[in-house]
Amino acid sequence: MTKAQLEAIARGAGFDAVGVAPAVRAPHAEAFHGWLAEGCHASMAWMAREPERRCRPEELLPGARSVIALGVNYFVPDQDGGSRGGKIARYARGRDYHNFLPKRLRVIGRALAAEGGVQRCFVDSGPLLERDFAVLAGIAWQGKNSMVLHPKLGTWFFLAAVITTLEIEPGSPLADRCGSCTRCLDACPTAAIVAPYRVDARRCLSYWTIEHEGALPEPIRELLGNRIFGCDDCLEACPWNRFAKASRDANFAVRPSSMRDLRDYLSLDEAGFRKCFEGSPVRRAGRQGLLRNVCTVLGNVGTQEDLAALDRCAGDEDPVVAEHAIWALGKIRSRAG
């Protein structure tokens, strides 16, 4: 299969960027091992399981020759993640990409199989350092916040990958175009980008609001500001985003569940939470995680009008939610004198 044929198939399947990398060991393999050794993955234990396997495509697919790197634009020009400032990361305001990108990958997989290839497909849920292969494939370069950048999509795109036994002509890596810019580092509210190209999840608000289970440490609570799911600060700061154009994919349109008033979330029981966020990335946080975050945000930005809802939440059967509601009540009352 030629690169031109592959690009036509990928774009027909709904991808906005496509490139090919050789199925070599990931260039950042040693850095990844060091990052794990320092504990920068926090409680995300799955990242430390068989770490070398993530670095070698041939361990995921014997006989692998090429890695096809794909990008999908998810940008929607909506600066407000929710009513009264409750911010949800931009990627999570629409439909969960895990629910539909695999179908698009299967289109590519079938085309490769027709050429005699054997494939494995990944949408960031498999053990593969896909950013390294996106860089090798020439569809992006790595920014100093460790995210990858596309010259036309900026930072607002999802990555997917197909490992294949077919040998397809590889692309050429793009030059690093970040230069001396440090806006992403400067924008991080918790200094989680501890050095260029290195993020410590133990400081990252995306980790704390999405991946962490249980109560939030008190120093983190005030740093949360008005974020209830994820943090886009280092992405929003990138000057390359001035070239980003709105996605035409209806899957990424902002869902009503992302635009609720903060107090409304506190009335959700488990069934209500599941219904409200059916098909949304926010379900990953669970009811406990979301209501914990909402209570924390109300503690930071709420007013006396929020006291009644928080009072009800202080009696929640989930002790983590109740703890954060009580904390928020104290913060609001303290501000009110």
Give the span between the Cα atoms of 322 and 317, in whole angstroms. Answer: 7
Give the span between the Cα atoms of 315 and 47, in whole angstroms. Answer: 36
Active site residue 124: yes
Point out which residues pair with 142 in neighbouring strands.
148
Amino acid at 303: T
Q: What is the CA radius of gyration of the chain?
A: 21
Contacts by 41-45, CB closer than 8 A, 24 or more apart: 41/201, 42/201, 42/202, 42/207, 42/211, 42/212, 43/211, 43/212, 43/213, 44/201, 44/207, 44/211
The number of helix segments (H) and strand segments (E) in the chain equals 15, 10
Residue among 153, 114, 108 nearest 134 (CA) = 153
Q: Which two tokens stand for residue 282?
A: 């926010």
Active-site option among 124, 249, 306, 311: 124
Residues with a known catalytic role:
124
